Structure 1
């Protein structure tokens, strides 16, 4: 009765276009009023406690840091450096774009910010050099998915809070899969470019030019060193690292590259607050929603039902991957994590899957949703910045999705790809 009321009303509210956070709250209230699993007072207190989390402070801070660094000229310097490294290869501009997305992902923490920062510069340049417009847009949209996998990642923070695992552990676990996605996308770019005859850059740089590019890019290249090095070295927590990233971003963007004015900081902070407000509302309400799930043992019942069908780890993980891929096509990533973690985590832990490894699997699945219609927020961002029709880019994205699904399967069934770095640094996982 409680399960049907809770999920039935939640799905009904979603079908009539009620926002996800409000749908969660209204479904919880309907369930409380009809089945009385907990009191309204207890539900409200749980909501407040759900937001009273120190790691959650990293969400708006990383969002602010990513925004200011994207506007502050850091992405332009990263592109110049990656151009020196990869620009001469076949499909060089595509390889440069992917490498720049990997670098920028270690700054921004979000997918759409990565697409915007790199795409605004690279899509017009790729088109000017003869690359297909839809190919260029699909490449940037796909490479932007690493923004939520390569640390620091806002989605990783949300999962860590929801699952009760280490944020630092999640950050470290994202390095291997993020690099693997970059390699997979680069291989496809190289093969496609050879087939289409996309040449590399023929621009020659003098030794003096190379030195100038590298020196100018030093402040940009030091961002992940300061942020991630401080976290992994135990100098500060991920939340404190987010604050350091904000301060460093202000210094570099305002005083070093001088591409952001001090007067712009207020509007950047305001935009970051607006972006995070909806997520934090969902987190608070979902804490109350999760309390109802826990009290009524719904996750345990779902886990037992799945395990009664089959206890084969390979089969269950395939089913979970399919579910997450479907959910990622129509539901916002952070909301999906918050709703599904209490339901799916008991299932996978019963099979012996490490919670941190499962977090990487979940985030990677939902990241593929960034480029999968009808939601496809990275696709919409790529369309917006490049004047590509959504229908056209939706067709061009299919091979890229196939590449990422192959990577997903490898990450799912080879746990050490995610766990090698936490183990190397003696993290408790």
Structure 2
């Protein structure tokens, strides 16, 4: 008990005083080894575990997907996707709002990041929608929640991290995420249609013609091919998720430099630097969390926790509900990747002992982390939307409520009905 208090207590203190999560994890491990009488190992084990935590080919997919997303944003791919989405649904009342949801879904199939989806799509659609007369708070709120499709529709960074930690099939995670992502997209579209008629949102003067649809589709083909290449390579068995991520980088570079010609050699340096910074932050968290997870298991804390919860004779459903609530709470003040690498090593052994499917549990983790990006005080999606819309966080949080409720309802359906997560798995 003393070791557990020291481990979690020091980590909590570091987080409260504002120490970054990666350093807080590493420092709490160091403090536990140095000050706990139960340990005879030296602090050198920390470095071993940190480097060992990155010795995985699956983790290599993370920097590749981040780089591919940045190349796509800078290379004009996202703008073509927005135009294509608008040509599909732009002719009905609230059509631009439907296009926003659809464009976020398309971009989600490219980037795997919620904030990146919010910024990329919001910077293009929000100003135009406000000019047309869409309510600012509702539009910003819809952007926040639709951006939450980023980590659900594959490829997904959070799913790669989860698969790396638990050994779950990343391909199966992607399959499940695709199905659930489409459900979320449809729910958001239904909410949009209801609000559009209730609040009399603008309607386009004319429907896009067949010719306009054809033109936008042709221009979007290189962009649409990207998720086809990524997911097709994975599901066909020709490529691993890491290999597909590398291929995505190559195709995004080709599309941006030689097809759309919006990326020059000069642009590549800042793109590479931004991508390296984003990847380094995530990989550092994963590395230190590996040391944290090791000491958690080595000290016997995880075994005691598993026995204690199993002894409570909780059903699978009750345990999943408890986990969902815990993850939602953590998601309000921790970034999604941090929550995953911190909580999954603790919770997954318990879930496994209860016979809970790894993919079902993974979808609970992934979706709950996304909801955290929409929930203050951390709420990176709201911060991202605020940077695009210049609205206050309170306005955006209020505007997102109807869409947020729809998202949360899908989440609890996933929690309570495991078949939703495993329906299309072999």
TM range (shorter): over 0.9
Q: Is the 8 A contact 2:81 2:106 kept in 1?
A: yes
> How far is the alpha carbon of 1:267 from its aligned partner?
1.0
Listed one character per residue, the Cα deviations across residues 315-347 of structure 1 (whole Å, up to 9, x for unaligned) are 222111111111111001111111101111122
Structure 2 residue matching 1:388: 3-state secondary structure: coil
- Whole-angstrom CA distance in 2 between matches of 1:329 and 1:204: 41
Unaligned runs of 5+ in 1: 424-429
Q: Which of residues 418, 422, 427 is equivalent to 2:425? A: 422
Partner of 2:236: 233
Q: Is the 8 A contact 1:286 1:338 kept in 2?
A: yes
Q: Is the 8 A contact 2:332 2:375 kept in 1?
A: yes
Structure 1 residue matching 2:332: 3-state secondary structure: helix
1:139 and 2:157 matched? no
1:26 and 2:27 matched? yes
> How far is the alpha carbon of 1:47 from its aligned partner?
1.3
Partner of 1:212: 215
Q: TM-score, normalised by structure 1?
A: 0.96
Q: Is the 8 A contact 2:374 2:381 kept in 1?
A: yes
Listed one character per residue, the Cα deviations across residues 276-295 of structure 1 (whole Å, up to 9, x for unaligned) are 11211111111111111111
Unaligned runs of 5+ in 2: none
Listed one character per residue, the Cα deviations across residues 274-313 of structure 1 (whole Å, up to 9, x for unaligned) are 0111211111111111111111222222233233344122
Structure 2 residue matching 1:51: 3-state secondary structure: coil
> How far is the alpha carbon of 1:145 from its aligned partner?
0.6
> How far is the alpha carbon of 1:37 from its aligned partner?
5.8
User: 1:34-45 to 2 correspondence within 5 Å?
Assistant: 34-35=35-36, 36=39, 38-45=41-48
For the aligned residue pairs, the C-alpha RMSD in angstroms reads 1.4
- Whole-angstrom CA distance in 2 between matches of 1:231 and 1:356: 17
Structure 2 residue matching 1:148: 3-state secondary structure: coil
Partner of 1:10: 11
Q: Which of residues 399, 403, 415 is equivalent to 1:412? A: 415
How many aligned residue pairs are there?
423
1:170 and 2:187 matched? no
> How far is the alpha carbon of 1:204 from its aligned partner?
4.1
Segments ≥4 residues shifted beyond 6 Å: none
Question: Bigger shift: 375-384 or 204-213?
Answer: 204-213
Listed one character per residue, the Cα deviations across residues 246-278 of structure 1 (whole Å, up to 9, x for unaligned) are 010011111111112121112101100101112
Structure 2 residue matching 1:371: 3-state secondary structure: coil
User: 1:196-275 to 2 correspondence within 5 Å?
Assistant: 196-275=199-278
Q: TM-score, normalised by structure 2?
A: 0.96
1:49 and 2:52 matched? yes
Q: Is the 8 A contact 2:151 2:366 kept in 1?
A: yes
Q: Is the 8 A contact 2:142 2:399 kept in 1?
A: no
